[in-house]
Amino acid sequence: MTLTATPDQLAKYEVVIGLEVHVQLATRTKIFCGCPTSFGAPPNTNVCPVCLGLPGALPVMSKPAVEMAMLGALALNCRINPTSRMARKNYFYPDLPKGYQISQFELPLAEHGYVDVVTANGPKRIGVTRVHMEDDAGKSTHDGFKDSDRFTYVDLNRSGTPLIEIVSEPDMRNADEAYEYMVYVKQAMEFLAVSSCDMEKGHLRCDANVSVRKWGAAEFGTRTETKNLNSFRFLKQAIEFEVSRQVAVVESGGRIVQETRLFNPDLGETFSMRSKEAAHDYRYFPEPDLVPLRISDAWRERLQSTMPELPAQKRARYATEFGLKPYDAEVLTATREIGTYYEKAVAASGDPKTTANWVMGDLLGALKNDGKEITESPVTAEHLGDLVKRIASGELSGKLAKEIFPKMYAEGLAPGVIIERDGLKQISDTGAIDKIIDEVLAANPKQVEQYKGGKTTVIGFLVGQIMKATKGQANPGVVNDLLKAKLG
């Protein structure tokens, strides 16, 4: 039975969190060979002598992998080292065919970065210690085969997939900060298109180093490392569980053991993975099969100049340029695709705020109902912008637009086509409206009397009748003005 701490006990401790985030790079081929990185191929078919670790096979570094890693590092405000080198990390595991992982140790690709996040407690800067490149291992399957009680099945298709590992400073003080840091990293990598960050496919996984110490203590407490957290919810749950467990252990006179732990999502608990206290001795040494990575200023600057606008910059621009509220700016920058769609729609509509409401409300709502991404939207950004433009110009009432939008969504047609076809044009022609008002007033003499007797609220009823008579197509502003003038 695992102990959990009481709120009083928790209040006595400061929490210290550092994260190691692994990001799968979006190259077509593996880091050291030309095998595809595609997901879902039959087992052991995307393999060659290099990624199988066959004797004599030699790795050759992928240039786009290096460039994606550099972009990722630059987005985390890291300094790119002009010289870095690959190193062998030696350990035995059946899904590691070479008997070592090619990673980086003394001279990583990039160092000394930081990330600025905003949490409930305000802004916070979190240090990024380093970003280094490495190859992924294969995949072990422990269950699901009829002899799974005796065998582990190994598929090496993933072996050699390019990864970057992003190591943070132990700067986070609660699960929310860790969450926001992870969101920043994920969004940045997505915006840069250096990773698809599909967490279900393991493109983004996170190890959380957690320790606790009494407030004011100079030394860090002993930390545990909870591995392979592959969702934001698990990250938060694992940290919160681990903090509670550690405080309870210390409060009951126990000692935290430095160990690797795993998270059980069903129980929401972490559990010890290795009983050995001694850290693994990986015997790192420089990889003799690969030359050092030399990155010139010119190369770095060339990449820097291709950097797209990152989410935080986009949010700031939406606030100043479009006058959007922080929440709206956040929704519209959640992914690069939503931002691109919104900006295209604004370009077509000329009305950023109304466009924002339509994208966030009607469009994202409809897409969510259908389980579709914005890239699959049946309504193009140009068509949505066109619709908003017609509202802004007074050609369409909001009510009419709400009627037209579902048709655009269902049929993928431009608003003009639907308006024309279904005769949904708003009537602003005062002559036509005038005639209808006269008819409505003639048909409702009682209400006219009431209005003239001082009960001005009946105007709502009369407007309703007029709108009904025009099938909602009359311009409500024009109706109001004309009606008031007539009732004098």
Partner 1 sequence: MKITEQQVRYVADLANLSLTDPEIHALAHDMDEVLIYMDKLADVDTEGVEPMAQVLFETDETATLRDDVERPDRLFTSNIATANAPQAGQGYFKVPKVIERA
Q: Quick one: 134 or 155, whose CB is closer to partner 1? A: 155
Instruction: Give the H or E element holding residue 181.
Output: helix 175-191
To partner 1, the closest distance from the beta carbon of 336 in angstroms equals: 21
Using the rule CB under 8 A, which residue among 61, 262, 319, 448 binds partner 1? Answer: 61
Measured CA to CA, the distance from residue 230 to residue 21 in angstroms comes to 10
**Does residue 177 contact residue 17 with C-beta atoms inside 8 Å?**
yes
Q: E strands within 246-352? A: 260-264, 269-272, 285-286, 293-294
Work out whether 412 is an interface residue with partner 1 (CB under 8 A). Answer: no
Using the rule CB under 8 A, which residue among 24, 46, 473, 475 binds partner 1? Answer: 46
Binding mask 163-192 for partner 1 (x = CB under 8 A): ------------------------------
Binding mask 97-136 for partner 1 (x = CB under 8 A): ----------------------------------------
Residue 181 CA to its chain's centroid (Å): 11
Beta strands at 224-229 and 260-264: parallel, antiparallel or unpaired: parallel
Instruction: Give the H or E element holding residue 257.
Output: none
Work out whether 286 is an interface residue with partner 1 (CB under 8 A). Answer: yes
**Which span sits near partner 1 by CB under 8 A: 21-29, 180-188, 212-220, 355-363?**
21-29
Using the rule CB under 8 A, which residue among 66, 387, 401, 479 binds partner 1? Answer: 66
> Which residues 315-334 are close enough to bind partner 1 by CB under 8 A?
none
Q: Quick one: 21 or 31, whose CB is closer to partner 1? A: 31
Work out whether 305 is an interface residue with partner 1 (CB under 8 A). Answer: no
**Which span sits near partner 1 by CB under 8 A: 198-206, 212-220, 268-276, 373-381?**
268-276
Coil, helix or strand for 290? Answer: coil
Among 141, 138, 134, CA closest to 53: 138
Among 179, 183, 137, 168, CA closest to 24: 137
- The type of residue at 193 is A
Using the rule CB under 8 A, which residue among 24, 27, 209, 244 binds partner 1? Answer: 27
Among 25, 39, 102, CA closest to 70: 25
Scanning 283-335, the segments in alpha helix (DSSP H) are 297-304, 311-322, 326-332
Which residues lie closer than 8 Å to 310 by C-beta, 6 or more apart? 75, 187, 188, 191, 192
Work out whether 156 is an interface residue with partner 1 (CB under 8 A). Answer: yes
**Does residue 346 contact residue 352 with C-beta atoms inside 8 Å?**
yes
Pull the structure tokens for residue 314: 């986009």
Pull the structure tokens for residue 254: 């126990």
To partner 1, the closest distance from the beta carbon of 18 in angstroms equals: 24
Task: Count the residues of the shown chain that bind partner 1, applying the rule CB under 8 A.
Answer: 59
Work out whether 287 is an interface residue with partner 1 (CB under 8 A). Answer: yes
**Which span sits near partner 1 by CB under 8 A: 63-71, 123-131, 167-175, 368-376?**
63-71
Among 125, 221, 215, CA closest to 177: 125
* Residue 390: how many other CB atoms lie within 10 Å: 21
Using the rule CB under 8 A, which residue among 39, 114, 153, 232 binds partner 1? Answer: 153
Pull the structure tokens for residue 371: 């389980």
Work out whether 285 is an interface residue with partner 1 (CB under 8 A). Answer: yes
To partner 1, the closest distance from the beta carbon of 272 in angstroms equals: 11
Work out whether 281 is an interface residue with partner 1 (CB under 8 A). Answer: yes
- Length of the chain equals 488
Using the rule CB under 8 A, which residue among 2, 6, 121, 140 binds partner 1? Answer: 140
**Which span sits near partner 1 by CB under 8 A: 278-286, 344-352, 392-400, 473-481?**
278-286
> Which residues 224-263 are close enough to bind partner 1 by CB under 8 A?
none
Measured CA to CA, the distance from residue 372 to residue 363 in angstroms comes to 11
**Which span sits near partner 1 by CB under 8 A: 55-63, 358-366, 414-422, 466-474?**
55-63
Which parts of this chain interact with partner 1 (CB under 8 A)? 27-29, 33-36, 42-49, 52, 60-66, 85, 90, 92-94, 140-142, 145, 149-156, 273-276, 281, 283, 285-288, 290-296, 298-299
